[in-house]
């Protein structure tokens, strides 16, 4: 992997935006990112979005966004990889720069879930599973997570797994762009109703609208522009859609492979990572992600969470602005929020959430139940 840099980021608050369309939210985030980078235009646009067809009956978002930004004429496409669509768009954008075709690329992620009723959003979420199997019998995302949670409980016990939402909420408290910027106690998590037992309502991300954007630039342009920059590396891998057809359903092999690859390419050791932005769409996925990517021994994530290991002042801070659970999880936008937040950390603009002397951040983005995985490593420059 050659040299790609993040040069600007922008995002909206995650909320129910009744007064703005999907397109308007994405344009708003994109304009902020361009402003942050201090450049008026780019060579191409990549859009990450999962549910445009299902909820807005809208495809062709790349070209629409180029028009909204006054950039008509440049190539612009939407990229899709379920809940990891934003990371997939970043992946393609990085390749565009590495190929030498583009010097500056705008990546925009957006999702507007409040355009659907909650059962319509649940239906649309089935698109990340195999419709002809899981979709047909109603084994939705939460059902699969509930089953994995049960298998985990049987093998290791579930102590501390419910701490992951508590940690994310603690970090989101006071964060202006977070959907749920308040603390949540473990008692509240454990007394919330089941969504698919043993998984509880307060262990899963909510439904919201949001858009985030990132400007990626090549080495030559990075030297010229003045905005703060971070180095950007990305790797990806896939696994079978249904976890129960994998060798070990409790191991996210896709995430293990993507992580290995990005560490190998950057010659960074896992112990050098200062913080991780996890894909905590559910508490159990947060735990399995940390264990699968080699940061924690299998079965130990919950207990380490209880000890404060993943809190802002812990040894390995996770979800420094609240993660998917508390900052929010507007699918196609999520990876862009993660990258934007990591960029703020590494350029010392993270305010109250700043981690001392953060030099290396890792971002994990998953499509479905880790059938698609991205590992993104960002470095201070």
For binding to another protein (CB under 8 A), which residues are involved?
A: 117-120, 122-123, 125-126, 132-140, 142-143, 146-147, 149-151, 154, 193-199, 240, 242, 244-245
When the beta carbons of 133 and 182 are compared against another protein, the nearer one is 133
Q: How far is the CB of 250 from another protein (least distance, A)?
A: 12
Q: How far is the CB of 143 from another protein (least distance, A)?
A: 4
CA–CA dist 47, 178 (Å, integer): 22
Is residue 45 within 8 Å of 90, Cβ to Cβ?
Answer: no
Q: How far is the CB of 245 from another protein (least distance, A)?
A: 8
Q: How far is the CB of 216 from another protein (least distance, A)?
A: 34
Distance of CA 135 to the CA centre of its chain: 24
When the beta carbons of 196 and 360 are compared against another protein, the nearer one is 196
CB-CB neighbours of 68 under 10 Å: 18
CA–CA dist 47, 79 (Å, integer): 6
When the beta carbons of 143 and 173 are compared against another protein, the nearer one is 143
* Strand pairing report for 275-277 and 360-367: parallel
Q: How far is the CB of 270 from another protein (least distance, A)?
A: 29
Residue 380: strand pairing partners: 230
The two three-digit tokens of residue 178, written as one number = 């977070």
Considering only CA atoms, give the Rg of the chain.
19
Size (the chain), residues: 381
* Strand pairing report for 209-218 and 4-11: antiparallel
Q: How far is the CB of 60 from another protein (least distance, A)?
A: 23
Distance of CA 210 to the CA centre of its chain: 12
When the beta carbons of 197 and 265 are compared against another protein, the nearer one is 197
**Phi-psi region at 294: left, alpha or beta (left = phi > 0; alpha = psi -120 to 50):** left
When the beta carbons of 134 and 280 are compared against another protein, the nearer one is 134
Secondary structure element (H or E) that encloses residue 9, with its range? strand 4-11
Q: How far is the CB of 34 from another protein (least distance, A)?
A: 38
C-alpha distances out from residue 257 to 286, 297, 330, 361, 379, Å: 17, 16, 25, 18, 20
């Amino acid at each position: 992997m050659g040299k790609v840099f993040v040069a600007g980021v922008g995002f909206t608050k995650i909320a129910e935006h009744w007064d703005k369309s999907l397109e308007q939210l994405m344009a708003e985030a994109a304009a902020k990112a361009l402003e942050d980078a201090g450049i008026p235009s780019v060579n191409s646009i990549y859009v990450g979005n999962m549910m445009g067809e299902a909820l807005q009956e809208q495809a062709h978002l790349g070209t629409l966004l180029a028009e909204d930004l006054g950039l008509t004429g440049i190539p612009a496409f939407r990229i899709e990889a379920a809940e990891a669509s934003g990371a997939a768009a970043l992946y393609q954008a990085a390749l565009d720069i590495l190929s030498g075709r583009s010097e500056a690329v705008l990546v925009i992620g957006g999702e507007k879930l409040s355009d659907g009723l909650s059962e319509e959003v649940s239906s649309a979420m089935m698109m990340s599973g195999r419709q002809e199997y899981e979709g047909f019998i109603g084994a939705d995302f939460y059902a699969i997570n509930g089953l994995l949670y049960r298998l985990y409980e049987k093998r290791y016990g579930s102590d501390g797994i419910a701490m992951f939402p508590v940690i994310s909420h603690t970090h989101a408290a006071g964060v202006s762009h977070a959907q749920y910027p308040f603390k949540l106690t473990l008692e509240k998590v454990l007394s919330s109703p089941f969504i698919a037992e043993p998984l509880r309502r307060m262990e899963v991300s909510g439904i919201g609208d949001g858009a985030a954007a990132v400007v990626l630039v090549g080495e030559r342009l990075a030297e010229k522009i003045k905005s703060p920059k971070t180095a950007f590396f990305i790797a990806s891998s896939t696994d079978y859609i249904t976890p129960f057809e994998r060798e070990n359903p409790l191991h996210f092999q896709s995430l293990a492979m993507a992580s290995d690859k990005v560490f190998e390419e950057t010659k960074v050791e896992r112990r050098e990572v200062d913080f991780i932005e996890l894909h905590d769409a559910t508490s159990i996925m947060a735990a399995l992600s940390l264990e699968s990517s080699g940061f924690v021994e299998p079965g130990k994530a919950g207990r380490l969470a209880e000890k404060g290991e993943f809190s802002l002042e812990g040894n390995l801070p996770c979800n420094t602005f609240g993660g998917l659970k508390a900052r929010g999880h507007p699918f196609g936008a999520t990876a862009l929020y993660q990258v934007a937040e990591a960029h703020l950390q590494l350029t010392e603009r993270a305010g109250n959430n700043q981690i001392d002397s953060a030099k290396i951040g890792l971002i994990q983005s998953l499509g479905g139940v880790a059938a698609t995985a991205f590992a993104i490593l960002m470095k201070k420059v």
